[in-house]
Amino acid sequence: MGITGLGGVFFKCNNPAKLREWYQEKLGLSSDQYGKTFLWGDTDGSSVWAPFAKDTTYFSPSDKEFMINFRVNDLASYLEEIRAKDVEVVGELQVEVYGKFAHILDLEGNKIELWEPMDSEMKS
């Protein structure tokens, strides 16, 4: 149980579409409207690079320009474990078609997204 890898790096920018275009043209990094998924070579996992609009509220209550996403096993149990260690959980566990999500704040108020991929995506 616990963190199994880096799920992604999300950051705010002035114009996500233009920035994705710049990364494509200048650096050859192709992406879609959600960013770029990098598959891990040694396992069946992946990580995401994702620019967000400067005015997104998705990172709230943090006022930081970035948010880290960590992959975890058994998110519900992990949340119980870290709550017992006085980790601040923001909101409720959410279930989407691509996995379960929860958010926490670290010691400095950085919002961290915890992601348990669906069984078909989680082989690591």
Taking only the tens place, the pLDDT of each residue in 51-65 is: 999 999 999 999 999
Quick one: 13 exposed, middle or buried, by C-beta within 10 A (0-12, 13-18, 19+)? middle
Percent of the chain past pLDDT 90, that is, above it, reads: 46
* Per-residue pLDDT band at 45 (split at 50, 70, 90): confident
**2-117 maps to CATH 3.90.550.10:** no
Residue 2: what pLDDT? 81
Quick one: 124 exposed, middle or buried, by C-beta within 10 A (0-12, 13-18, 19+)? middle
Beta bridge partners of 104: 89, 112
Amino acid at 34: Y
Interval 69-108: pLDDT, tens:
999 989 999 999 899 998 999 999 999 998 999 999 988 8
Residue 52: what pLDDT? 94
Average the pLDDT over 21-42 and give the result.
84
Residue 113: what pLDDT? 93
| pLDDT at residue 120 tops 70 | no
Give φ, ψ of 101 to 5 degrees. -135, 145
Cα–Cα distance between 107 and 21 in angstroms, integer?
Answer: 35
* Per-residue pLDDT band at 26 (split at 50, 70, 90): confident
Sketch the domain layout of the chain as residue ranges: 2-117
Amino acid at 94: Q
Mean pLDDT of the chain: 87
